[in-house]
Amino acid sequence: MNFWIGNNPLADGTYRPLVPGKQVPAYEREGARILAEQALGRPLAAGEVSSYWLKRSLSWARSEPGAWARLQGEKLGLYWSGYEWPDAVDYYWMKTISWPLALPGLEWSAAALLALWGLLLERRRLALWARCCSSSSAGCSRSCSSFSSRATACRRCRASCSSPRFRSLARGKLS
């Protein structure tokens, strides 16, 4: 049901309940079950209800890939906008009754900027790690999972990740 709510012909990237006025999770679950049972004409188990909505959503995405792609772009824009769209609970209302949420600097946009700054600071280390992992052969089912000196991966990847330069960079000793 949740996948359908976010991926259907009427979706705009914000939350829209299946049955208007029934956005409380218990009511929403019940509404999804009733609508699915009406559509299929028989009683459904919880898993069947979930499968019904997923199949319906995937069917729409396959039949209208352009509309689905535009919707994903809209959702990506909303994600990075810095505004928290209300769902069953409104974040901005919660900030009025929860002092940790009301602290300055805890907004999504501030966290995103700090994350981007961290990526910029670590770009050389990340680039070396990516190079190490991409050096593994196509048939390798494992890759470097950490900056440890003992990488558990294929022979080529292990050789790249155990080099003195990689170990030094991974420990932050090279600039």
More confident position, 171 or 59: 59
13 lies in the same domain as 64: yes
Domain membership flag for residue 141: yes
Asked whether residue 137 carries a pLDDT value surpassing 50, the answer given is no
For residue 143, the enclosing domain spans 122-170
9 lies in the same domain as 81: yes
Domain membership flag for residue 110: no
Backbone Cα Rg of the chain: 23
58 lies in the same domain as 131: no
With the C-alpha atoms ordered 14, 76, 82, 89, is the resulting torsion angle positive or negative?
positive
Domain membership flag for residue 104: no
- For the chain, the domain total comes to 2
Asked whether residue 75 carries a pLDDT value surpassing 50, the answer given is yes
Model confidence, pTM? 0.57
Asked whether residue 2 carries a pLDDT value surpassing 60, the answer given is yes
Closest CA to 151 of 174, 132, 127: 132
17-48 pLDDT, tens per residue? Answer: 888 777 777 788 888 899 999 999 999 999 99
Domain membership flag for residue 100: no
Asked whether residue 114 carries a pLDDT value surpassing 60, the answer given is yes
64 lies in the same domain as 15: yes
61 lies in the same domain as 127: no
Domain membership flag for residue 56: yes
132 lies in the same domain as 67: no
Domain membership flag for residue 103: no
